[in-house]
Amino acid sequence: MKRSAWFVLVIVSILVTWSTATADVPIPMNRWVTAGQPGLQNEEQMWICPTDTTITIINHRDFRLGYRQIGLGRSTTNGLIWIDTLIHPDYQIFPRQSDPVMTVNSSGDIIMCYLDYDPNYDDRSHLAFLVSDDCGETWAGPTTVSPTTGFYFEDKQFITCDRTGGTYDGNVYISWTRFPNPDRIMFARSTDGTQTFEDTILVGPTTTSTCFGGPIDAGQFSQPLVGKDGAVYVFWQAMTIDSTGGCEWCRSIRFNKSTDGGVTWQGDRHVRCVEGYNSVDGGIGVYSQPTTEADITNGPHAGNIYLQWRDTKDGAPYDSDIFFMRSLDTGHTWSEPIVVNDDPVSGEVDQFHNWLVANEEGILASLWYDQRVDPAHYKFDVFAGYSYDGGETWTSNHRISSESSSPSLLSSSQDDLPNGDNLDDIQIPLQPTAGLIGEYIALTCVGDIVAAAWTDTRNSTGPGDQEVYSARWHLPLTDPRLIYPLDGETVDVDGPGLFWATAWKEYEDLYQLQIDDDNGFGSPEIDLTVTDNLYDDPLTGLSDGLWYWRIKAFGSPGGIAEETDWSEPGSFRLEGVSCDCGLWGDVNADAAINPVDVVYMVNYVYKSIDNLVQPPLCPLPAGDVDCNAAVNPVDVVHFVNYVYKGITPFPCVDPCAL
């Protein structure tokens, strides 16, 4: 393997990185999708058409008529010009639609799903599907998961399609939350392209605990996923209660798994405790819902399962980050979390509403809202980051939105139910109000083309007016992100070495490494080109003390003809430097033990002449031949016996091995 295996043990333990640099990548052109439509537009999903990448489709929740509808944007000009409409009334079953999502199948058909409900009843809702075989020019449907409505309300559905080419290729999977209280996580599958669906299955059941006085909600924000082997997963945000019968509990991410195409399930399992629900500046509701992806390629990371979510670090409740974990064994075990965003580790900067996708090469891209641009950490922008090495590292981040959005221009939707309640004001444990900008964001990546869509306020006329913006760009070569050692950290010469994030595609990336004792790097002690993002050669050319390092990335010959700026310098303090001290008595460093060394010893010990020359980089004075951590007359006696009488001074190991 190109990447050193040992570093997996190091990287999974690192939650933050010192690097604060933003890669010198241009902000892509931002395009206005909804073009001045009144009301709220949010909860975007999008796909670049797999069969014609000039075409891009966006769907989103839209309130231009004063109530929930599904907006549909289509561009046939690489995202430069957008045609923006609402889905036609022929595709509407009930008066309201919400929660739009989208996926594609192996043939390139676009599959859209949305919640279709009657606002006059709490229990009349459908999960409706439309399918387009011409990249969104025309649509067929709607078809529904269930032919009739039940005594419940369906909510927050997400979908996926098996594109593995295996036994279940083409299967469409959907998971969602079923109300009323207590809620539960449901699942259904279609084996005929959404024309019909099999009976619904309970994959996330409610639990009962005497500590909480009865049933506990199963959770919310479920997301289905298909692995390389065709296994189906459903992840969701939930509550995990002490399995030993105690009353300890935490908000958590849980998942269930099926290995037979969604027919039978293994039982839900706990992955990790998370913060759950919170809000950031301006009253924006944020969540720890899972976003997931799988590597279904034939590449070096095939079979990996990826999990990403928003969370806060211990002791920093007002600094939320985008966290990431991966499983290399189909969900049996998970790595420790690492942080995707690279803003300063101090400061109350929130990242939230993330989305995660992978392209046909297994390259991961992530998108989220981010407050780092605004010095007051109030307004928010859209940022992106990438992983070219199967989620082991994440690149420096770069800004996607060209203007910041203000929470002061956001407003809750008003969509009344028959009893006068607002649908967004229903307060049930584990079901918070819908966010002011919805609850998810849009990202797609086909080949080297990346596109995103988000909720934006730059053209808002006042609170309650939002717009959909989009951008399209190519995977960038980003400034290297230094990961290990953390800035200023003391490291051992025999430690794991220097490690930075892969800045471009694996096996096509080159790096120039410089190390110097001067942060100006006027005359670097080490200056070399490496083909890996790890430098673990023994640091024997360096002495104990403070050192600075920086990295520049290049595209490989024959690949992209680009190079990055230098990363912001990192620093580390080196201790325990090893050296070639086989001649442990060579105090004048001339590669020999002879009478000259005896003279040096005599001058140093008996005449207090502090000019004892030591072999460079030795951890103990080369004159300490008896290994007692002191240079004194006893060492002189050993020298005299060895040099003039041939008597081996002492049965001590080489000082360099200590």
User: What confidence tens digit (pLDDT) does each residue in 58-71 have?
Assistant: 999 999 998 999 99
Residues in CB range of 573: below 8 A, 6 or more apart:
488, 489, 490, 491, 545, 546, 547
Residue 500 pLDDT greater than 60, yes or no: yes
Query: pLDDT at position 186, please?
Result: 97
Report the distance separating Cα 486 and Cα 484, nearest Å. Answer: 5
Query: pLDDT at position 653, please?
Result: 42
CATH for the stretch 485-575: 2.60.40.10
- State whether residue 600 is helix, strand or coil: helix
Report the distance separating Cα 587 and Cα 610, nearest Å. Answer: 12
Lowest mean pLDDT among 59-73, 76-90, 305-319: 305-319
Letter string b/e over residues 290-302, b meaning 16 or more CB atoms within 10 A of that residue's CB: bbbbbbbbeebbe
Report the distance separating Cα 233 and Cα 304, nearest Å. Answer: 13
Query: pLDDT at position 591, please?
Result: 66
Residue 418 pLDDT greater than 50, yes or no: no
Q: Give the predicted TM-score (pTM) of the model.
A: 0.83
Query: Who wins on pLDDT, 410 or 416?
Result: 410
Report the distance separating Cα 37 and Cα 33, nearest Å. Answer: 10
Residue 127, amino acid: L
Q: Do 98 and 68 form a contact (C-beta atoms < 8 A)?
A: yes
Residues in CB range of 321: below 8 A, 6 or more apart:
16, 310, 311, 312, 313, 339, 340, 341, 351
* Continuous segment of H or E residues that includes residue 215: strand 214-216
What's the pLDDT band for 313 if we cut at 50, 70, 90? confident
Residue 229 pLDDT greater than 70, yes or no: yes
Q: Which fold has domain 26-474?
A: Neuraminidase (2.120.10)
Query: What six digits make up the tokens of 5?
Result: 């295996």
Q: Do 585 and 596 form a contact (C-beta atoms < 8 A)?
A: no
What's the whole-number average pLDDT of the chain?
86
Residue 658 pLDDT greater than 60, yes or no: no
Q: What is the mean pLDDT of residues 11-35?
A: 64
Q: What is the pLDDT of residues 523-538, one digit of tens each?
A: 999 999 999 999 987 6
Report the distance separating Cα 529 and Cα 135, nearest Å. Answer: 45
Residue 511, amino acid: Y
Strand partners, 125: 117
Residue 46 pLDDT greater than 70, yes or no: yes
Q: Do 352 and 280 form a contact (C-beta atoms < 8 A)?
A: yes
Half-sphere exposure of 3 (CA within 13 A, CB side): 23
Report the distance separating Cα 132 and Cα 119, nearest Å. Answer: 28
Q: What is the pLDDT of residues 524-574, one digit of tens each?
A: 999 999 999 999 876 666 887 899 999 999 987 666 668 999 999 999 988
User: 633-645 and 595-606 are packed helices; what angle lies between their axes, rounded to 10 degrees?
Assistant: 160
Report the distance separating Cα 458 and Cα 402, nearest Å. Answer: 10
Q: Do 306 and 391 form a contact (C-beta atoms < 8 A)?
A: yes
Report the distance separating Cα 475 and Cα 560, nearest Å. Answer: 11
Lowest mean pLDDT among 65-69, 327-331, 444-448: 65-69
Q: What is the pLDDT of residues 157-203, one digit of tens each?
A: 999 999 999 999 999 999 999 988 788 999 999 999 999 999 999 99
Q: How many helices (H) and strands (E) does the chain have?
A: 3, 40
DSSP category for residue 91: G
What's the pLDDT band for 428 if we cut at 50, 70, 90? very low
Query: pLDDT at position 634, please?
Result: 82
Report the distance separating Cα 505 and Cα 499, nearest Å. Answer: 16
Report the distance separating Cα 643 and Cα 597, nearest Å. Answer: 9
Report the distance separating Cα 586 and Cα 568, nearest Å. Answer: 40
Query: pLDDT at position 514, please?
Result: 95
What's the pLDDT band for 593 if we cut at 50, 70, 90? confident
Q: What radius of gyration, in Å, describes the C-alpha atoms of the chain?
A: 30
Letter string b/e over residues 69-85, b meaning 16 or more CB atoms within 10 A of that residue's CB: bbbbbbbbeebeebebe
Query: pLDDT at position 576, please?
Result: 65
Report the distance separating Cα 372 and Cα 378, nearest Å. Answer: 9
Query: What six digits make up the tokens of 321?
Result: 């980050």
Domain ranges of the chain: 26-474, 485-575, 595-657
Other CB atoms within a 10 A radius of the CB of residue 119 amount to 16
Query: What six digits make up the tokens of 612?
Result: 């004892």
Residue located via tokens 């007692």: 628
Report the distance separating Cα 220 and Cα 439, nearest Å. Answer: 12
Query: What six digits make up the tokens of 245?
Result: 């019968």
Q: What is the pLDDT of residues 242-299, one digit of tens each?
A: 877 678 889 999 999 999 999 999 999 999 999 998 889 888 999 999 999 999 999 9
Residue 143, amino acid: T
What's the pLDDT band for 590 if we cut at 50, 70, 90? low
Residue 130 pLDDT greater than 50, yes or no: yes
Backbone angles phi, psi at 110, to 5 degrees: -90, 130
Query: What six digits make up the tokens of 556?
Result: 């490989």
Query: pLDDT at position 420, please?
Result: 38
Lowest mean pLDDT among 296-300, 329-333, 489-493: 489-493
Cα 446–chain centre separation: 19
Query: pLDDT at position 627, please?
Result: 66
Residue located via tokens 């050692």: 485
Query: Who wins on pLDDT, 53 or 655?
Result: 53
Max Cα distance, the chain (Å): 106
Residue 11 pLDDT greater than 90, yes or no: no
Query: pLDDT at position 7, please?
Result: 37
Alpha carbon dihedral 589, 595, 597, 603, in 10-degree steps, equals -140
DSSP category for residue 631: -
Query: What six digits make up the tokens of 549?
Result: 């390092």
Residue 73 pLDDT greater than 60, yes or no: yes
Query: pLDDT at position 3, please?
Result: 42
Nearest residue to 498 (alpha-carbon basis) of 479, 518, 522, 514: 514
Q: What is the pLDDT of residues 344-358, one digit of tens each?
A: 876 789 999 999 999
Percent of the chain scored above 90 by pLDDT? 62
Q: Do 430 and 219 form a contact (C-beta atoms < 8 A)?
A: yes
Query: pLDDT at position 631, please?
Result: 76
Q: What is the pLDDT of residues 365-409, one digit of tens each?
A: 999 999 999 999 999 999 999 999 999 999 999 999 999 999 998
Report the distance separating Cα 253 and Cα 222, nearest Å. Answer: 10
Query: pLDDT at position 579, please?
Result: 42
- State whether residue 107 is helix, strand or coil: coil
